[in-house]
Structure 1
Amino acid sequence: MKVFYVDEVDVPLRAYYVKMDNMNVPANLKGYKLIQALSPKDLLESVKRYYGLENCPNISVQLWSAQMYGGTRLDTMDEIPKQYEFIWVRVYIINKG
């Protein structure tokens, strides 16, 4: 297990399995991807890098606890509850106009 040192305290990375929920992706990005993260913000940034979405200004990337139109939004929380190990990624286009 990887450990980060934050203010002299050991903080273990949590493991999450993420999968794209509402967007078609290339075959090599389908299925679940194991990503370790310290926080919801850290996980969201790792997900954006993995799917190549970090430089897309007109989209909103969100982390959810269930597939399609249900569940709990996780990327806005301070900490993801332990029962959420499998996470679905949703991408929405932001209309600016």
Structure 2
Amino acid sequence: MQVDRRYGTTTGQGYGTQHQALRRAWAPKVAAGAASCARCGRTIETGTPWDLGHRDGTGKREYSGPEHRSCNRQAGAQLRNLRALDPAPAPMTAW
């Protein structure tokens, strides 16, 4: 198990046993060039880095399938940036 001190274990990040098993199941199809990106729909070419994507809005509970690494991480960055631009309102203090 790989541990990155900034983010904790892979399981703690939402990439535990289920994620790893599903990624292994997809790996032969992706390696053969027979998988399409769940985000953009284009074929994931053999040897291209890929991620197992999550369905947006599910909090890493549902998977969408293999995605180009760039498509997956761009979507994650956009979500993070939207949250930074539109933070949750601060609670009102009752006086």
The structure number with the bigger radius of gyration is: 2
Of Structure 1 and Structure 2, the greater helix share is in 2
TM-score (norm 1): 0.29
Of Structure 1 and Structure 2, the greater strand share is in 1
